[in-house]
Structure 1
Amino acid sequence: MSGAALADPYPVATFSGLDKTTARVTKFDASIGKAVRFGALEVTVRACDKKPPEERPQTAAYVEIRQIDEEKEQVEPTPIFKGWMFAESPGLNALEHPVYDVWLNTCKTSAAPASSGNR
């Protein structure tokens, strides 16, 4: 293997998040290595991959989720979730949180446009 780093074929993960207090589901994108806020959570994707169309569907992302202390506006250092999420089996490795559910939808090549018009 050469020393050159290969670019990630799917540098963006798309998630759905449920706020259980409002019953609102929000879709959001997270680029690999960049923290994204959902409610009082910080979601960071470390890897995202999916099988080619000719193979059995499997989309997976390695994710770290940290709680945000909203009073102090600081992120807790220890993740409340750290592991693989699978789009085809959202209940297999899901975030267990009293207020939020977060699950993986897909991995893709780029983030959605910032102005989608739907909010």
Structure 2
Amino acid sequence: MCSGESTARPMTPLRSALLAALVAGSTVTPASAEKVANKVAVFTGLDKITGRIITFDVYIDETVQFGALRVTPRVCYDRPPTEPAQTDAFVEVDEITLDNQIKRIFTGWMFAASPGLNAVEHPVYDVWLNDCRQESDVPPPGERAGGAAREAKPNEANASGAAGAPEAPVGADMVGGVPVPRDKPPIPPGGAIEEDVPPTGDEPANPDAGGNGEILD
């Protein structure tokens, strides 16, 4: 004898797992969908000997030489303003040795927010990722003559000095962003340099000057 009422089938653990997988698969992660590929990677280079720091642009798959380092970005990703900031690039860095050989010293991801995670091991030069861009003031490689690696040049925005950069104090020159005191003038032959001493008002009395006082025995 069959009843007209239907009996609900219990939810088995297998069916629960399948249902959870379907729900998770239908959800798209916004961060992964919003990743933006850029055409230009912006790097900062440091000469540890002179203290010289420059910021330069490198197109994707282009090689730019900074000192003894050759930098080649393969990809450069960032996020739109509506997403949490995250800028990273996959970079290859080669060293030009003293015998003019090319040696790979770094291959991996650089993160603009954490430069210490992508340390380039070199005693003189250091390079780290600064930003990613879609355009650059530098012409693309296809619009320039020659296929050799170009030399890193400061961006036009930084060529005339960054805004708010410290000025050299009086009596000093700026060398690599560091004030260096100027050399003292040479002493002229036959005598020392005379310095002007301002009067203090406490000069000793002149014994030869006459006075109205009376000399006592």
**Highest relative contact order (Cα 8 Å, sep 6+), 1 or 2?**
1
Q: Is the 8 A contact 2:37 2:75 kept in 1?
A: no
RMSD: 2.1
Q: Does 1:28 find its partner at 2:56?
A: yes
Larger radius of gyration: 2
Relative to its length, the structure with more strand (as a share) is: 1
Residue ranges of structure 1 left out of the alignment (5+ in a row): 1-7
What is the total number of aligned residue pairs between the two structures? Answer: 109
| C-alpha deviation, 1:68, in angstroms | 1.1
User: Normalized against structure 1, the TM-score is what?
Assistant: 0.82
Sequence identity (%): 50
Corresponding residue for 1:109? 134
Q: 1: CA distance between counterparts of 2:61 and 2:126?
A: 21
Residue ranges of structure 2 left out of the alignment (5+ in a row): 1-35, 140-154, 161-217
| Structure 1 residues 30 and 70: CA distance shift in structure 2, 3 A | farther
Match for 1:13 among 37, 41, 45? Answer: 41
SS at 1:92 equivalent: helix
Q: 2: CA distance between counterparts of 1:97 and 1:69?
A: 11
Corresponding residue for 2:204? none
| C-alpha deviation, 1:71, in angstroms | 4.7
Relative to its length, the structure with more helix (as a share) is: 2
The runs of at least 4 consecutive aligned structure 1 residues that moved more than 2 Å come to 69-72, 112-117
| C-alpha deviation, 1:21, in angstroms | 0.8
User: Normalized against structure 2, the TM-score is what?
Assistant: 0.46
Alignment of 1:82-101 (within 5 A): 82-101=107-126
Q: Does 1:41 find its partner at 2:62?
A: no
Q: 2: CA distance between counterparts of 1:28 and 1:107?
A: 11
